[in-house]
Amino acid sequence: MQKIIDFIQNIYNTKEFIPLHEPRFIGNEKKYLNDCIDSTFVSSVGKYVDLFEKNFAKRVGSKYAIATVNGTSALHISLILAGVEKNDEVITQALTFIATCNAISYIHAKPVFVDVDLDTMGLSPKSLKNFLETNCEIKDNLCFNKRTNNFIKACIPMHTFGHSCRIDEIKEICDEWNIVLVEDAAESLGTYYKNKHTGTFGKLGAFSFNGNKIITAGGGGVIVTDDEVLAKRAKHITTTAKVPHKYEYVHDEIGFNYRMPNLNAALLVAQLEQLDTFIKSKRDLALKYEELFKTYENIDFIKEPKDSKSNYWLQAVLVKNVDERDEFLDFTNKNGVMTRPIWKLMNELDLFKDCMSSNLDNSKYLEERIINITSSVLV
């Protein structure tokens, strides 16, 4: 195990504490930030928000991008736009970060958990199909859960650690069952599935620019869609639902103050310019790890699944023996190299323990074995 510590200290060229994932500000960040401050337009109006939205949409290949204050709010608004209402259900994976389930809960809707695929760590089309065929029927042209008597309005798969799930198959199933597909692409900026950018398969997609994501502004998020009506509505309800007017304050519904400040957008314009460099570094790092872990019989390095060109946002290994997970975590963290386990399954949190779920064997298998290892971009 000392060999792993030496290896990581060697690539990062330090014997000091090595965090799991550090942001890098090595482009035009200070220049744009200064420009933004000098303009005094630091808040919710300003040219960087518009510029970032334009650049982002172009980068991922969506028609529209609407910047928000963080990824959770992007998910929250996406679900509202997908038509999710109180007491509805939303299918997602139990193996995800809590933000996905928080966004569902803000609407007083309920998550329903299906299993993930072992190779993608993302929502399994097979598990989804099986769940729907066993428990649901079409009623009033919507997907109706016969066990709970609720409608399933949306499905949010997540692209775990920047590896794409089988999003085309998931889309097909959702279309068949009249379920709106919303992608939690918070971790997968720059990741393509069969040459199409993740987050652009669904009706709506949400990204995050939290401090640990592949590009960051400290905080931030964005909604992408090809639907002009939804895009306009996203902008409207994230900006207090104010009706455009020269000076009057007229609001036509209860909106949200979810708009991204211009300061954050200035940072993000600079960060987005470096995305390709960051991804190249992460993909190179993945190759190095792959070589290293080939020499360990009981540890597998997680490689991009078939059809996914991954951003390798967070690097991960899988220990074959459950007992070795804590050993790995203890040893690395004690020796100055930060590592951490994957999230606790959502259905195991008290908050969601009453939610309906399918068999979650794969999710459990991965939960017990996956460890994230040092992933910062090499400079």
Ligand X SMILES: *Cc1c(COP(=O)(O)O)cnc(C)c1O
- Binding-site ranges for ligand X (CB under 6 A): 70-72, 96-97, 99-100, 158, 184, 186-187, 208, 210, 221
Q: Are 153 and 107 in contact (CB under 8 A)?
A: no
Q: Which is nearer to ligand X, 265 or 292 (CB)?
A: 265
Q: Are 224 and 231 in contact (CB under 8 A)?
A: no
Give dist(CA 53, CA 47) in Å, integer: 10
Q: Which is nearer to ligand X, 96 or 362 (CB)?
A: 96
Helix then strand count (H, E) for the chain reads 12, 16
Q: Which is nearer to ligand X, 177 or 258 (CB)?
A: 258
Strands 299-301 and 89-93: unpaired
Q: Which is nearer to ligand X, 115 or 177 (CB)?
A: 115
Give dist(CA 318, CA 369) in Å, integer: 5
Give dist(CA 372, CA 379) in Å, integer: 20
Minimum gap (Å) between residue 100 Cβ and ligand X: 5
Quote the tokens at residue 137.
């029927």
Minimum gap (Å) between residue 213 Cβ and ligand X: 6
Minimum gap (Å) between residue 32 Cβ and ligand X: 21
Please state, as a whole number, how many other Cβ atoms lie within 10 Å of the Cβ of residue 245. Answer: 8
Q: Which is nearer to ligand X, 213 or 369 (CB)?
A: 213
Quote the tokens at residue 151.
């409608």
Minimum gap (Å) between residue 137 Cβ and ligand X: 30
Minimum gap (Å) between residue 67 Cβ and ligand X: 12
Please state, as a whole number, how many other Cβ atoms lie within 10 Å of the Cβ of residue 63. Answer: 12
Minimum gap (Å) between residue 97 Cβ and ligand X: 4
Beta bridge partners of 242: 251
Minimum gap (Å) between residue 71 Cβ and ligand X: 3
Please state, as a whole number, how many other Cβ atoms lie within 10 Å of the Cβ of residue 314. Answer: 23
Minimum gap (Å) between residue 96 Cβ and ligand X: 5
Minimum gap (Å) between residue 76 Cβ and ligand X: 9
Q: Which is nearer to ligand X, 91 or 136 (CB)?
A: 91
Q: Which is nearer to ligand X, 99 or 266 (CB)?
A: 99
Q: Which is nearer to ligand X, 99 or 270 (CB)?
A: 99
| Nearest residue to ligand X, scored by beta-carbon proximity | 71
Give dist(CA 340, CA 326) in Å, integer: 10
**Residue type at 13 in one-letter notation:** N
**Residue type at 183 in one-letter notation:** E
Q: Which residue has the tokens 């790092």?
A: 285
Please state, as a whole number, how many other Cβ atoms lie within 10 Å of the Cβ of residue 111. Answer: 25
Q: Could you tell me the CA-to-CA distances from 72 to 100, 176, 210 in Å, in that order?
A: 7, 28, 10
Minimum gap (Å) between residue 219 Cβ and ligand X: 6
Give dist(CA 246, CA 197) in Å, integer: 38
Q: Which is nearer to ligand X, 208 or 347 (CB)?
A: 208
Q: Which is nearer to ligand X, 12 or 166 (CB)?
A: 166
3-state secondary structure 343-357: CCCHHHCHHHCCCCE
Q: How far apart are the first and last CA of the chain?
A: 25
Please state, as a whole number, how many other Cβ atoms lie within 10 Å of the Cβ of residue 179. Answer: 25
